[in-house]
Structure 1
Amino acid sequence: MADAAARTRMSEDEYLAFERASDEKHEFADGEIFAMAGGTFEHSTVAQGIGGVLRAALQGRRCTVQNSDMKVYIPSTGRYVYPDAIVVCGRPEFRDDNRDVLLNPRVVVEVLSPTSEAYDRGDKFANYRSIPSLKQYVIVSQDKPYIEVYTRQDDGAWGLRDYGAGQTAALPAIECAIEVDQVYAGVFEQYDDE
């Protein structure tokens, strides 16, 4: 399967077979695969933080939170991506019986990194907007307490609200709100050498 990564083009089915046999994560776009780079301590901590805060806020509801192990399929472009967190409400829909490719995210979260910021804000967001079930796209900074929430309006346009330290981010698509400070708990603390 290592040869598949070096190929310049492959079908969606070839990608899925390759990805399911791989120890590393790869996204898929336009017949090509792209290896996912590892994240920093801050990126990982923020991603876990927002996932945990969302999970707690949605407890007892028919919504589940998935981490970056779950792929999302974008049917309009045939892309497969790994968001940092996903909220799906109601019955999850999958591409096939492997149940590892989600079709109906309600909220997608991306934690920005220097290498992914332009893509997450540009092409990736444009692709996400084509998913009919997606109601909110949340961009989270790994460098400071700052969250941007893009919400699909009734007319199809996307509105932006941003939130910083000490504020509460509203997520009306899943009828909850999250404390920005809780998302970032422990991320920027300095530890003395022991």
Structure 2
Amino acid sequence: MKPLPQTRMSVDEYLAWSEANPGRYELVQGEVYAMTPERVLHAEVKAAAYVALRRSIRAAALPCRAMPDGMTVRIDTRTAYEPDALVYCGPRRDPNSVEVPNPIIVVEVSSPSTRRTDASEKLAGYFQVPSIHHYMMIDPDRRMVIHHHRVGNEVETAFLQEGTLVLDPPGLELPIAFLFEEP
């Protein structure tokens, strides 16, 4: 395994570096961080979230796409995250792209090691991106969704364990139970 770069880099430099260095990474204030291995529960909930979003997009017949983890979201010139799932609307992205510049929904599945970062740095970071209207933090241990959503210039938060989450824009209805279905 190659060591992580010791110099700070821009998102553009990071994207070029990451294509030549297989693995899971994020860039935070110019520094590359390797992502930790996942528990089975984390991976199952992450897969369920992607499938649930995709199913809801199809049910609503929206011109949007759900993407699994692996896509980069640029926060600013020196920070880029790789959410566990996301949704963007509009034309299909270039098939060779590794970045989604205009997501409307981002999802992070929390784990004991990421819970604090997901609820602080990533919460603040994701809402710096003007296109992002919804940030869902899914807690697989508590079977809970913490839904942060943009309302004008404010961000409101709801805690859900059941029912249906309405994600508007873009106009999705997402049953909470779908987020915890076994693949």
Q: How many residues align?
A: 181
CA deviations 1:42-75 (Å, max 9, x no partner) are 1111111111011011013101001111111113
Q: Is the 8 A contact 2:10 2:78 kept in 1?
A: no
Could you say what the CA RMSD is over the residues aligned between the two structures, in angstroms?
A: 2.0
SS, match of residue 48 in structure 2 = helix
Mark the CA change 1:161 to 1:11 in structure 2 (over 3 Å): closer, same or farther.
closer
Structure 1 unpaired stretches of 5+: 188-194
Say which of 170, 177, 182 aligns to 2:166. Answer: 170
CA contact under 8 A between 1:93 and 1:104: conserved in structure 2?
A: no
- Separation of aligned partners in 1, 2:122 and 2:27: 12
Is it true that 1:181 corresponds to 2:171 in the alignment? Answer: no
**Structure 1 CA distance, aligned partners of 2:180 and 2:20?**
34
Deviation at 1:98, TM superposition (A): 4.5
Q: Give the alignment's TM-score, normalised by structure 2.
A: 0.90
Helix, strand or coil at the partner of 1:120: helix
8 Å Cα contact 1:106/1:136 also seen in 2: yes
Aligned to 2:26: 27
Q: AA paired with 1:107?
A: I
Question: Relative contact order, CA 8 A, sep 6+: which one is greater?
Answer: 2
| Superposed counterparts of 1:129-168, under 5 Å | 129-154=127-152, 156-165=153-162, 167-168=163-164
Report sequence identity in percent.
28
CA contact (8 A) 1:46 1:142 kept: yes
Contact residue 148 and residue 162 of structure 1 kept, 8 A: yes
**Contact 2:67–2:86 (8 Å) recurs in 1:** yes
- 1:100 paired residue among 74, 98, 101: 98
Task: After superposition, give the CA deviation of every residue in 1:149-169 in whole Å (9 maximum; x if it has no partner).
Answer: 111012x1011122114x222
CA distance in 1, matches of 2:114, 2:21: 22
Aligned to 1:89: 89
- Structure number, greater radius of gyration: 1
Deviations 1:80-122 (A, max 9, x none): 110001000113678xx94111110101111101111100010
